[in-house]
Structure 1
Amino acid sequence: MTVALVLFGYAVALAVFAGPLLRRARWVDRAPRLAIALWHALSVTVLASAAMAGLALTVPTVQVSGDLAALLRACVMALREQYASPGGAAAGATGAVLALAILARTLWCLARAALRAARDRARHRQVLDIVGRPDRGHGFTILDCAESAAYCLPGRQRRTVVTTAALQALDGGQLAAVLAHERAHLAERHDLALTFSAAIATAFPAVKLFRDAAAETARLVELRADDVATDRTDRLTVAGALLAVASHGTPAVPVGAMAAGGAGAAARVRRLIPPRRPLGRAQATAGSLAVAVLLALPVLVLGGPAATASQHNLCPDASVSASAPMQ
């Protein structure tokens, strides 16, 4: 019971307090890729901790066949001692339902979101095959449209799309910046990060952390793509390109497509004006360690009693058992 309470308390604490703290952190806009990893680590940790809490309740109620060797029977006795729950079978059943419900709901929403995005992208590609025309020199698709926009369709048949209005609004350097932005989305598979965070938020809408993670991921992938584009050109060129493609709105794009302009473009332009200040190596290392600790801690908590049980005399060494004389 103690293990289950610790894991569940850890999940609740992260869900309540971690999101606001991360949103107020000043460094996230300077290292968007690390911030995306941290948001995803928080979401995975909360889900895993809650599921493992249910699993910890289930462990002591699992029956072991009497045909197993004495070594395994003794080890099961030790594990029961460490994971013992005062609720008995009722607590174990509740834990099993909790763990299975979290796993099933998560997988269902992830699969549904991925299939929906793939379907919408396939339909949009069919439309582009009919109404779009390729630009052989730069490797993108030109779409006749009165709205200035550029976006990309990820997947196996990835596309980068630029409207004719955007081509008229962008100069050569700005067009290169927009293409670098969209290709950064494709190369780093930002669509997977967006699909994951949106699916988790849909699966558990009552958890504010998941809603914040989805919103922040959508914002941060754009910042990351902006940073990649600045490496190809310069910050002011990227800022001018964003203003050009966002000035007349963004046409409807399918689920899973990522547009350079649209919501948040003004804040992104303001971010690009001052000189870039990336995180130092020590700060980046600390952030990476935080991601690793978040993911590892629930596993260590769940496995702690098992490690303790392995030190008990009830769990004899396998080599000793194997060398014991046959009765």
Structure 2
Amino acid sequence: MIVALSLLGYALMLGLAGPRLLRPDSWADRAPRLAIAAWQALSVTILVSVALAGLALTFPTVTVSGDLAQLLRSCVMAIQEQYASPGGVAAGAAGAVLALAILGRTVGCLAAGLARMAHERAHHHRILDMVGKADPGRGVVVLDSNESAVYCLPGRRRRTVVTTGALLALDDVQLDAVLAHEHAHLAERHDLILGLARALASAFPAVGVFRLAADETARLIELRADDAAAARSGRLTVAGALLAVAAGGTGNLAPSVAFAAGGSGTASRVRRLIPPQNPLGRTRTALGSFAVAALLALPVLVLGGPAAAAAGHNFCPGATASVSTSP
């Protein structure tokens, strides 16, 4: 019971304190890749903590200080003791329902979201096959439209789409910058990252931190792609390219499963690119990476502490005894 309450308290603390530590006006915009990982770790850790709490209620943990036989006896006695009372049975049943419900809901929504994305991509690929024109030199598909749009379709059949309106609005340097932005989305598999965040928000709509994580992840992956493009073409070039794309289109051409260079939030992204780059720094980045790893590891350590303690003990005392007593 203590382990379960500790895990539930940990999940509640993360849900309340996490969004404040990752607010947009903090360090997150200076290190979007680390911030993306932090939001993912925060969401997964909350989910795992609650699921492990249910598991701890179903199967009580024991403290082991002996051999393997004592380990098994302790486990059996703890389970018998818990399920000998109506309260223990109720707690175990509630824990099992909680763990299975979280697992089933998460897997179901994630599978449904991935299937929907695959279906929409396949539909848009068929449209591009009919009306698009391949440009092998640039590695893009050109779509005849007066609207200025550049977007990419992730997945196994990756494609970057550029409209004729965008080709007219952008010079060669700006076009390279926008294409570098889209290539960053594809190379870093931002579709899977955003898919997980949106799946959790869809699975548990009443949990506000999951909705916030999905919104912030969508925003941060655009900042990350901007930084990747700026490393190649320069920050001011990327800012000018984003403005040119946004000024010439409404964003209606790109499907919901694509990553478009322009669209909502372009103005704030451009303002971020205009000042000189102010990175977080190696020391702070390393500390942040350690904190992300600690978020994920702590629930497992809380639940698996007894097992970790038992791992250092001798599980075969009989063999030692036989050696010492042999003539």
Aligned partners of 1:121 and 1:153 also within 8 Å: yes
SS of the residue 2:151 aligns to: strand
Deviations 1:21-64 (A, max 9, x none): 31155211111000000000000000000000000001139xxx
Aligned partners of 2:149 and 2:253 also within 8 Å: no
Distance in structure 1 (CA, Å) of the matches to 2:81 and 2:2: 9
TM normalised by structure 1 equals: 0.90
Aligned partners of 2:83 and 2:89 also within 8 Å: no
What pairs up with 1:1-327 in 2 under 5 angstroms?
A: 1-24=1-24, 26-60=26-60, 70-71=69-70, 73-77=72-76, 87-247=87-247, 248-307=249-308, 317-321=314-318
Percent of aligned pairs sharing the same letter: 61
Q: Which segment is superposed worse, 35-44 or 9-18?
A: 9-18
- Which letter maps to 2:199? A
Distance in structure 1 (CA, Å) of the matches to 2:25 and 2:54: 32
Distance in structure 2 (CA, Å) of the matches to 1:295 and 1:95: 21
- Give the CA RMSD over aligned residues: 2.4
Deviations 1:242-288 (A, max 9, x none): 01111122124333210000010000000000001111111000100
Distance in structure 1 (CA, Å) of the matches to 2:106 and 2:43: 11
Distance in structure 2 (CA, Å) of the matches to 1:265 and 1:89: 55
Aligned partners of 1:57 and 1:83 also within 8 Å: no
Aligned partners of 1:85 and 1:91 also within 8 Å: no
Aligned partners of 1:4 and 1:57 also within 8 Å: yes
> Which consecutive residues of structure 2, in runs of 5 or more, have no partner in the other structure?
62-67, 323-327
Q: 1:218 to 1:77 in 2, by over 3 A?
A: same
Aligned partners of 1:71 and 1:321 also within 8 Å: no
Aligned partners of 1:79 and 1:305 also within 8 Å: no
Distance in structure 1 (CA, Å) of the matches to 2:246 and 2:94: 51
Distance in structure 1 (CA, Å) of the matches to 2:227 and 2:24: 21
Q: 1:178 to 1:82 in 2, by over 3 A?
A: farther
Q: 1:271 to 1:85 in 2, by over 3 A?
A: farther
Q: 1:77 to 1:109 in 2, by over 3 A?
A: same
Deviations 1:117-136 (A, max 9, x none): 01100110110010000112
- Which letter maps to 2:257? G
Tell me by how many angstroms 1:304 deviates: 2.1
**Number of positions where the alignment pairs a residue of Structure 1 with one of Structure 2:** 315
Distance in structure 2 (CA, Å) of the matches to 1:39 and 1:59: 30
- Which letter maps to 2:32? P
Distance in structure 2 (CA, Å) of the matches to 1:290 and 1:95: 28
TM normalised by structure 2 equals: 0.90
